[in-house]
Structure 1
Amino acid sequence: MRQRIVRMALVAGVTVLALLLLLATCGGGADDPKGTPKPARTATGSAAPAAPVTRLTVPAAYDTHRGWELPDVSAGYVVDPATGLVAYLEPVGEARYRLRTVDATTGRPRWTGRPWHPLGGPGDVPRLLSLAKDGRRYVVAWSYGSLRGDPLTPASSFVSLDVYDAADGARRRVEVPWPDAPIVTATGPGVVVSDGKARSTVVAPDTGEVTTVAPEALGYPKGCPECRTLTEVRGMTPKGLLVSGARSFWVRGGWASRGHAPSGADPASGVPTSLTPGHVLARWQHKKGARRAATHELWAVHDVTTGAPLVQTECRKPAIEPGEHPRAVTSPGARYLAAGSLAFDLDARTGRCFENPDGTSPLTLTTVTDDGVVYGAGSARSPSDALAGGGNPVRIDLATGVPQALPPNVRLPEAEVAGVGLFRWTDPADRVHLVAYAEKG
């Protein structure tokens, strides 16, 4: 009898073990760094959310009764104008996150990724990027930290990238060994991990292939010895890495700035200040002896593929050189570009610098729409300060170029996509809400 009980217990144990193995096998998939990416869960038949509960004071172009609201995007979000996708991070427990996506127009859920543990400490939050390659769109969540082994094994630092196909959420994990805190960008068909100087690695979002580019292989232009000074990898373009040196910039294996200076500029003075998927915004000095060389600088938007200057304008030189140049933002259709006090219409080939003639009281521009409307603020310290309510809000129609003051309590849209403006506010529990209001008309 005792032997029979033992046999029955053994059979039960084997059965439980088999079930556990089966569940473990079924639960792998997209979380396996070496596995084939699998689609995430897709929401089907999900009803559109109710109109946003929060009624913010916003520009008159938006209807606060039509739209949607996400109650907690404290961990961050990213917008992909090409697909009308809003992706945001949702905390799961104390140390895990999952990526969720919604339709920008309706707020309906699209797909949801599986939870994962990012690198770093308990308070470290992954960051989000979006990019495109060969017609496919991707969302990338990345983190940086160490994987500690046994006490005799030193810690290894990595940049961990979870690359999601924007169409269905299929996920690929890529880990790049990296010794120090990285700069991670996605302005072209690859994710660039750099040290802010000449060392960089490029990750292909479609295959996960990792390509390391040595500093000596950055394709320094001939006849430019100063290009090897202050060398910095700026990002990725369709033709290769964008690199800068002292008073010059170039695309590795492609064009160089000295052959594409805007009219009236010193060819040996170009400094790239911001890179978007289609354009490079660069600052130039006037040619020596020019009438306004001592007081003004030239700003030009260059085609990222050819280097050709498309449009230019000028601004007063700052009394104090800024430590960080403003990031360029574009309209969803990429016709308009704004950065700091600069705004450009790339189709009409016009540009403006919104400041007083003596260089005082420059505007800080934050958002530009497909209708050629720019939002910003005067007397704001930075774009983030303007979006948080700092300064005096303004609206500018680039067709006229005349700033119009908005009521002081108006919140500015962080972005516009698919016919809705996106706004943020923080509730008393310190949770960040993302509120989408539809455009009127």
Structure 2
Amino acid sequence: MRTAHAMTAATLLALLATGCSSGADTAGNKPPGWFGDTKTTAPLTKLSVPPSFDATQGWDEVLSWVPQSVMTLPVTVVPRSQTVAFMQASSAGYTVSARESNGKLAWRSAPWSAPTPVAEAQTASSGPAEIPDLTGVEIDGRGYVVAYAHGVRGKDQLHEGAEIVRLAIFPADAKGESVKPLREVDVPVSADPGEIHVQAMGGRLLVAWGESGFFPNRGATVDMTTGEVAVQQDADRLLTQCRTAPMCNTSRVVAATPDGPLVAMGGGGFGIPGRYFSDTLTPTGINPKSGFLGFWNGTVYGVSAGYALISWQAASAGDTPVWSVHDLHTGAPQARLVCGQEIAKSDKPSRDYPVVSSPRGQYLAAGSVAFDLKNKRGICWQGDGNRKTILVASIQDNGTAYGGVPDASEGGTNVVAQLDLSTPSGNAKPLEAGTEVPYAHSADGAGVFLTLNSDKHVLVAVRKPARP
């Protein structure tokens, strides 16, 4: 799970991963029980969780090998499932384990060998460490856990070696011990530490590199069935509209889909070649072009659960931006919202906030912008001078969302909020000081919390939903 770019700007990392739990710690890195056994071998760590979760029911895992300053945390939830996967390290290599939200250990991989880290990837003087990571993906209806690491293959006294991202692709529904990956794939790259981004938000696995941020400007798609790697061509050549658009020299692929790449053009505008372009998708009252030079309007903010979140310049300078959600396959608009959250620059790879969605995809949010796609409405949590801005971190399937206020309350304590996106108003309310914010949710309603234990090690804590 990538945290550095997703959370730092929003101050959500402080809410998710820098708290300090109290009470008893779990028994090191040893899973509770054996396969099929949900009994724990140590008391659960005491956590202050929102009232919709039962703090006494669930399981813990300590990732003691993870440095205190990192770019990623190797924890992931497989989309639309109850599977939570995490990575451990030992002298034999890295192992990936997957548990169901009830604590049952479904499978554990055989030790996996990552490539030799690139220079300065794990030195404290160079900033946050780059370590192997995990991402849970769904491709053509099947879930996978993808382990990946950036490094050098074949380097020795006589060879410089080749820089790669190594992928180990595991089926999410594997069973047993010493599970081997379906396949391992090495993707040639050229990137500094922290410039690797692996995701399948569009339905195809995309490995991107070369810039820090959600959407680096170089990439390759990986076929999960064959392992074939297809390096992307120059993104400026993918959409014909780029040929005549002003300053269209920083286009980038933001998602790989079964229909082709979703391209965000430098200067504005987006589309999938041969399927749709943003000039036919503008919300009511929005012009297809904006600005004195006539840039194409529409910036892809992010993609999640088969939808693209788009921000649009208003028709008049100084007016509040418009946000809309579009079906990734057809481009068809699903909902729109007027909200003052700052629009991302179309020629930059970074976004202030991640796009998050509920496990089954009805609700979607990024920062202070949130949508209920079933009821085709949006809610803006941007501050208005009186009401404070609320940034959404995660959403449950029932529409309950959790987030925080970016400025601290008195005494420097982060303000944690609970929202109800199933209502037109959002029904925001503050939670008690010190309440942990779940970073993700499983399909059966369990919350996945990331914090630090009393030894300052990363703690993965899954808590079951509270009984009504």
Q: Looking at CA atoms only, which structure, 1 or 2, has the larger radius of gyration? A: 1
Q: Which whole-Å deviations, capped at 9, do the CAs of 1:283-302 have from their partners, x for residues lacking one?
A: 101124xxxx4131111111
Q: Distance in 2 between matches of 1:163 and 1:152?
A: 31
TM-score (norm 1): 0.80
Which amino acid in 2 is paired with 1:236? A
1:230 aligns with 2:228: no
| CA distance 1:118–1:405, shift in 2 (3 Å) | same
Which amino acid in 1 is paired with 2:330? T
Q: How many Å apart are 1:139 and its aligned residue?
A: 1.0
| CA distance 1:198–1:70, shift in 2 (3 Å) | closer
Q: 257, 270, 277: which is aligned to 1:249?
A: 270
- Secondary structure of 2:63's counterpart equals coil
> What are the residue-to-residue correspondences of 1:258-277 with 2, within 5 Å?
258-267=279-288, 268-277=296-305
1:205 alignment partner in structure 2: 224
1:396 aligns with 2:419: yes
Aligned partners of 1:273 and 1:326 also within 8 Å: no
Q: Which whole-Å deviations, capped at 9, do the CAs of 1:349-386 have from their partners, x for residues lacking one?
A: 110111333597311111111111111111359xxxxx
> What are the residue-to-residue correspondences of 1:136-285 with 2, within 5 Å?
136-168=142-174, 170-171=180-181, 172-181=183-192, 182-194=196-208, 195-196=210-211, 198-215=217-234, 218-222=237-241, 224-226=244-246, 228-245=248-265, 246-267=267-288, 268-285=296-313
Higher relative contact order (CA 8 A, sep 6+): 2
Q: What is the number of equivalent residue pairs in this alignment?
A: 386
CA RMSD of aligned residues (A): 2.6
Q: Distance in 1 between matches of 2:331 and 2:217?
A: 21
1:89 alignment partner in structure 2: 87
| CA distance 1:211–1:296, shift in 2 (3 Å) | same
Aligned partners of 1:52 and 1:68 also within 8 Å: no
- Decide which moves more: 138-147 or 75-84: 75-84
2:454 alignment partner in structure 1: 428
| CA distance 1:320–1:331, shift in 2 (3 Å) | closer
Q: 343, 353, 364: which is aligned to 1:337?
A: 364
Q: Distance in 2 between matches of 1:433 and 1:317?
A: 32
2:434 alignment partner in structure 1: 409
Aligned partners of 1:286 and 1:298 also within 8 Å: yes
1:102 alignment partner in structure 2: 99
Q: Distance in 2 between matches of 1:362 and 1:266?
A: 28
| CA distance 1:52–1:191, shift in 2 (3 Å) | farther
Q: 58, 62, 86: which is aligned to 2:53?
A: 62
Q: 293, 301, 322: which is aligned to 1:298?
A: 322
TM-score (norm 2): 0.76
| CA distance 1:320–1:218, shift in 2 (3 Å) | closer
Which blocks of at least 5 consecutive residues in structure 2 are unaligned?
Answer: 1-33, 67-72, 123-129, 289-295
Aligned partners of 2:305 and 2:361 also within 8 Å: no
Q: How many Å apart are 1:279 and its aligned residue?
A: 0.7
- Decide which moves more: 268-277 or 218-227: 218-227
Which blocks of at least 5 consecutive residues in structure 1 are unaligned?
Answer: 1-42, 382-388
1:355 aligns with 2:382: yes
1:126 alignment partner in structure 2: 132
Aligned partners of 1:316 and 1:358 also within 8 Å: no
Structure number with higher helix proportion: 1
Q: Distance in 1 between matches of 2:76 and 2:256?
A: 19
Q: Distance in 2 between matches of 1:202 and 1:390?
A: 43
| CA distance 1:320–1:45, shift in 2 (3 Å) | closer
